[in-house]
Structure 1
Amino acid sequence: MMSEKVIVGSEEWCSFPTLKIPFIKARVDSGAKTSALHAVNIKMFQKHGVDWIQFDINPLQNNEKAVIHCEAQLVDQRVVKSSSGFREKRYVIRTELELGEDTWGVELTLTNRDSMGYRMLLGREAMLGRLIVDPEKRFQLGQPSTENLKTHYYTETHKKGLKIGLLASNPELYSNKRIIEAGEMRGHEMHFLNLKYCYMKLDATKPEIHYRGGRVLDDFDAVIPRIRPSMTYYGCALTRHFESLKVFALNSASAITQSRDKLYSLQLLLNNGVDIPTTGFANSPLDTDDLIKMVGGSPLIVKLLEGTQGKGVVLAETKKAAESVINAFKSLNANILVQEFIKEANGKDLRLFVVDGKVVAAMQREAAPGEFRANIHMGGTASIVKVTAEEKRIAIKASKAMNLKVAGVDIIRSAKGPLLLEVNSSPGLEGIEGATQKDIAGEMIKAIEKNFKWQ
């Protein structure tokens, strides 16, 4: 028994020695009364005249290769109400939980958690008198290394996975680390490829891509381009070269290129029947007055075509301010868009994450008090949101129009219905995975597997 309570985060790695489960990531949820463990192929049998349960578990989310066969004595059968309100009759077992340096007995309900973000849910009954939850923290009691997971969950008998390269600039970025982790969890060989370290050989008979030091990158099955705006030209050229070598790119170079051209992408979306806020574009500052009238007058939004993710965006609250901003940008020969201001959105917009033609997650973003959010996304808070069928339809239609397999689609709710703001070809994962607790990185890896029909 612990002498004092232990502080844990919202996620912790634990193990079940009796069930021979060495590592499993748990969602720590004091709002849930009971604890739940992922289980499939559940069967009841008799052992010495007592009811027992046998079941299989895939302890790693989105990894069906690692399977553990478990047995435990049946304690009870109970009807459990899930967070979504669904009632389900579940088997209940009692087993030992090892968390950090302590081990104690807990009751677990068994259920298929394939659709959930975690294979294990640690509820408050198992925490009473032992744990205190700090929801801002994660993995307070440590976490296994990738090598430890491989040692326990992968053997030479497993089918060899794909060799996947992540084309990006910062290996420490949350999104990039999560994608590498998700690929390795599903049994693939993942490599971070710094865009700046890659260079190309254009040749009719033997085109090549080399990496710093002279290594030839000639054995990759797929690449995931995560190209920052300042590297768009070179990153797309590199992605295009990989495609010419018959390497599958999760987002193609042509799709990324057109998504980075704000004006062209909006024209493409309109041609595909996707509504956007009324937008104006002009070459001469002499047309400023009519340009402002065209989008409904002030207040209005002025966007630099070269700007991205909230940068180079100005809210002009009066006609005089709008004229000053537009003429200032034009004097610098900068290309701009002028867009109507959606006042009723009240500083909020939606980010729908689309993978392979399906909306896999959605969140609502709201500006912090005193900050500006208008027809764009920037700082503030993110929260889970229920999106409408129409909003999903727009997101899917937009990603298909842009020919993107992975896209962050930004939508604003207006009096005339949902309007599309922007389609991002390298959307970040941290905010939306944190808000929704969904494994979006895993969905991206699944999209690559689908292309190879890899099992």
Structure 2
Amino acid sequence: MDNLKILGTEEWCRFEEMGIPAIKARVDSGAKTSSIQANKIKVFSKGLEQWVRFEVNPLQDNRSISILCQAKLVDTRNVKSSQGISEERPVVKTHVNIGGNIQEIELTLANRDTMEYRMLLGREAINERYLVDPSKSFCQGDISDEELEIKYKPYMPEKSGLTIGLLASNPNLYSNKRIVEAGEMRGHKVVFLNVEHAYMKLDASTPEIRYRGGNILDKFDAVIPRIKPAVTFYGCALLRQFDTLGVYCLNSSDSISKSRDKLFASQLFSKNDIHIPTTGFAKSPMDTKDLIRMVNGAPLIIKLLESTQGKGVVLAETNKAAESVINAFKSVQTNILVQEFIKEANGQDIRCFVVNGKVVASMQRQAQKGEFRANIHQGGAASKIKITPEERKLAIKAAKVFDLAVAGVDIIRSNKGPLLLEVNSSPGLEGIENTTGKDIANIMIETIERKLKYSL
């Protein structure tokens, strides 16, 4: 025991054979095998032997440094992750240097982009060599940020902008053109990607996204999703694939999916103590009368679950009219929500634009004469407004419920205080930029830069 060295819960490892000058590892005696972050894994033949080629991003939250490695493939093994998910991983052998002590260990190659550490040092690598003191870190020597920068200077690419994909459907929309313009103004390459022109290769070893014509989309640092409701399912599938490839998505597929499901969204709001107009949902026409009474009777709002930009939203001014409309929708198996009508709002609502947990702009929208709901897409008017602290808090909390980095949050003022109407995961920029004079597209690009630790 006396000759065993001490490890802390985290240590620096060096892999001279693979050309990795330093990588921070989480020491975990509860894990049997060691693993290292790897992507673009490709098995190939070298003489009569099988080898594996892969790329390692050794520094957390820094995809600009990528080291191409290769090693002899010794096994392919099913490994259970900390979430209990089994996956097949290539296994290689290589020498590791920990504080000047060199030994041969096995490493499984795994996608650790979502993990805090780029490497995990398991008990097979430390048995009979080390003791672990969980109260300490870097017992075998720490590396300062300055030293790390010197070690990785040869690997740092020449300063250039990010490559950002804009995943949408129409390149000519104001919002999409503004995002491209803002990105390019900050020195980045912004590529428009039509959702329906991209397709995926689902494979544990070499997952891919390809674009019409067969081009492989493997050079993107980030993706800005602006997915229209009609392609939500496919667009979110693409975002999951980009995430698998280690590409930062400004809004995640899970966030978008939740925000697009109006029933689920309403349930989440209730669960998180976010006040909304009283809302009802029922399946059977036998419950229609009580459903109407439950939301305080007519006038009331009837909306399709997949409605957007005011489409699929109906005002029923009497109980009889409401009953007829509700039962008509139900007769064709269409899911709807029935919602309390806030008369005192006088056709006004507030759109708050939330980016990275802050309200960066807000405007008041006024419905045109004869309409019950404000919608600038259908002729409504907009004006700049100063929101109250309570409204600001509500907007930020609503975006956070879905974990949306970018959100358009719609609020209505009522006698009961501010009420949340809905949260839009692909909010338009034209109305709010023109009304407030704020360069929101630029703020979105800056958010990506901060997330990827990119500086001009």
SS at match of 2:219: coil
Q: Which residue of 2 aligns with 1:195?
A: 195
User: Aligned runs of 1:378-393 on 2, under 5 Å?
Assistant: 378-393=378-393
Alpha-carbon distance between aligned partners in 2 of 1:277 and 1:193, rounded to the nearest angstrom = 37
Alpha-carbon distance between aligned partners in 2 of 1:341 and 1:378, rounded to the nearest angstrom = 20
Q: CA deviation at 1:379?
A: 3.5
Q: Which residue of 2 aligns with 1:245?
A: 245
Q: Which residue of 1 aligns with 2:271?
A: 271
Alpha-carbon distance between aligned partners in 2 of 1:360 and 1:226, rounded to the nearest angstrom = 19
SS at match of 1:237: helix
CA contact (8 A) 2:292 2:322 kept: yes
Q: Which residue of 1 aligns with 2:419?
A: 419
Identity of aligned residues (%): 70
User: Aligned runs of 1:44-83 on 2, under 5 Å?
Assistant: none
Alpha-carbon distance between aligned partners in 1 of 2:378 and 2:419, rounded to the nearest angstrom = 18
Q: 1:398 to 1:262 in 2, by over 3 A?
A: same
SS at match of 2:451: helix
User: Aligned runs of 1:403-442 on 2, under 5 Å?
Assistant: 403-442=403-442
User: Aligned runs of 1:130-279 on 2, under 5 Å?
Assistant: 159-279=159-279
Q: Which residue of 2 aligns with 1:103?
A: none
Q: CA deviation at 1:272?
A: 1.4
Q: Which residue of 2 aligns with 1:368?
A: 368
Q: 1:375 to 1:191 in 2, by over 3 A?
A: closer
Q: CA deviation at 1:372?
A: 3.0
Alpha-carbon distance between aligned partners in 2 of 1:376 and 1:436, rounded to the nearest angstrom = 14
CA contact (8 A) 2:329 2:336 kept: yes
Q: Which residue of 2 aligns with 1:300?
A: 300
Q: Which residue of 2 aligns with 1:24?
A: none
Query: Partner amino acid for 1:226?
Result: R
Alpha-carbon distance between aligned partners in 2 of 1:378 and 1:232, rounded to the nearest angstrom = 23
Larger radius of gyration: 2
Alpha-carbon distance between aligned partners in 1 of 2:208 and 2:258, rounded to the nearest angstrom = 25
Aligned residues: 299
For residues 2-46 of structure 1, what are the alpha-carbon distances to aligned partners after superposition, in whole Å with 9 as ceiling and x for unaligned? xxxxxxxxxxxxxxxxxxxxxxxxxxxxxxxxxxxxxxxxxxxxx
CA contact (8 A) 1:302 1:313 kept: yes
Q: CA deviation at 1:378?
A: 5.0
Alpha-carbon distance between aligned partners in 2 of 1:354 and 1:250, rounded to the nearest angstrom = 13
Alpha-carbon distance between aligned partners in 2 of 1:218 and 1:377, rounded to the nearest angstrom = 36
Alpha-carbon distance between aligned partners in 2 of 1:378 and 1:388, rounded to the nearest angstrom = 27
User: Aligned runs of 1:436-455 on 2, under 5 Å?
Assistant: 436-455=436-455
Alpha-carbon distance between aligned partners in 1 of 2:309 and 2:381, rounded to the nearest angstrom = 15
SS at match of 2:311: coil
CA contact (8 A) 2:365 2:375 kept: no
Q: CA deviation at 1:370?
A: 2.0
Query: Partner amino acid for 1:310?
Result: G
CA contact (8 A) 1:365 1:377 kept: no
Gaps of 5+ in 2: 1-156
CA contact (8 A) 1:303 1:336 kept: yes
Alpha-carbon distance between aligned partners in 2 of 1:404 and 1:202, rounded to the nearest angstrom = 26
Alpha-carbon distance between aligned partners in 2 of 1:237 and 1:289, rounded to the nearest angstrom = 40
SS at match of 1:397: helix
Query: Partner amino acid for 1:384?
Result: K
Query: Partner amino acid for 1:333?
Result: Q
Scaled by the length of structure 2, the TM-score of the pair is: 0.64
Q: Post-superposition, which runs of at least 4 consecutive aligned residues in structure 1 deviate over 6 A?
A: 374-377
SS at match of 1:307: strand
Alpha-carbon distance between aligned partners in 1 of 2:403 and 2:237, rounded to the nearest angstrom = 17
Q: CA deviation at 1:158?
A: 8.7
Alpha-carbon distance between aligned partners in 2 of 1:347 and 1:406, rounded to the nearest angstrom = 25
For residues 327-363 of structure 1, what are the alpha-carbon distances to aligned partners after superposition, in whole Å with 9 as ceiling and x for unaligned? 0000011111000000000000000000000000000
Query: Partner amino acid for 1:188?
Result: H
Query: Partner amino acid for 2:357?
Result: G
Query: Partner amino acid for 1:352?
Result: C
SS at match of 2:368: coil
SS at match of 1:257: helix
Q: CA deviation at 1:235?
A: 0.5
Query: Partner amino acid for 1:270?
Result: S
Alpha-carbon distance between aligned partners in 1 of 2:218 and 2:321, rounded to the nearest angstrom = 55
Moved more, 170-179 or 365-374: 365-374
Alpha-carbon distance between aligned partners in 1 of 2:210 and 2:203, rounded to the nearest angstrom = 13
Alpha-carbon distance between aligned partners in 2 of 1:443 and 1:159, rounded to the nearest angstrom = 21
Alpha-carbon distance between aligned partners in 2 of 1:349 and 1:234, rounded to the nearest angstrom = 31
Q: Which residue of 2 aligns with 1:355?
A: 355
For residues 272-303 of structure 1, what are the alpha-carbon distances to aligned partners after superposition, in whole Å with 9 as ceiling and x for unaligned? 12100000000101000100000001100001
Alpha-carbon distance between aligned partners in 1 of 2:264 and 2:209, rounded to the nearest angstrom = 30
CA contact (8 A) 1:342 1:375 kept: no
Query: Partner amino acid for 1:319?
Result: N
Alpha-carbon distance between aligned partners in 1 of 2:234 and 2:372, rounded to the nearest angstrom = 32
Alpha-carbon distance between aligned partners in 2 of 1:389 and 1:444, rounded to the nearest angstrom = 23
SS at match of 2:431: helix
Q: Which residue of 2 aligns with 1:327?
A: 327
Scaled by the length of structure 1, the TM-score of the pair is: 0.64
Alpha-carbon distance between aligned partners in 1 of 2:203 and 2:382, rounded to the nearest angstrom = 48
Q: CA deviation at 1:159?
A: 2.9
Q: CA deviation at 1:435?
A: 0.1
